A = this chain, B = another copy of it.
Amino acid sequence: MFVHHVFFWLKNADSEEDKSKLLEGLEKMKAIEGVRTLHIGVPATTNRDVIERGYALSWLLIFDNLEDQVNYQVHPIHKKFVEECSSLWSKVIVYDAVDA
């Protein structure tokens, strides 16, 4: 199992328009094959010191293995997403985790 979890901070943190554009870009990537589990998220209402709530959108993909994740990285739809949407974000943090 390969877990790929991405968190996006927007340049214009209060812009609902930019958030919608980013969401739209992520939605388009649902067409990429080879993904076992997919989730587009926003911060939950839970609020404790250890919880990071500053990001605008999260993007969770679970793959069967590293190879499927590599295929996703080089997929034309993913490349187009980065091209079209990277101007919207100020920060991205990625966590890639494999079985412990």
Contacts and interface: CB of A to CB of B under 8 A. Distances in A.
A50 B92 contact: yes
A99 B88 CA distance: 20
How many chain copies does the complex carry? 2
Interface residues of A, number: 37
A5 B93 CA distance: 13
B99 A46 contact: no
A32 interface: no
A3 B5 CA distance: 11
Interface string A30-42: 0000000101111
Interface of A: 1-3, 5, 7, 23, 26, 37, 39-46, 48, 50-53, 55, 57-58, 60, 62, 66, 69, 92-100
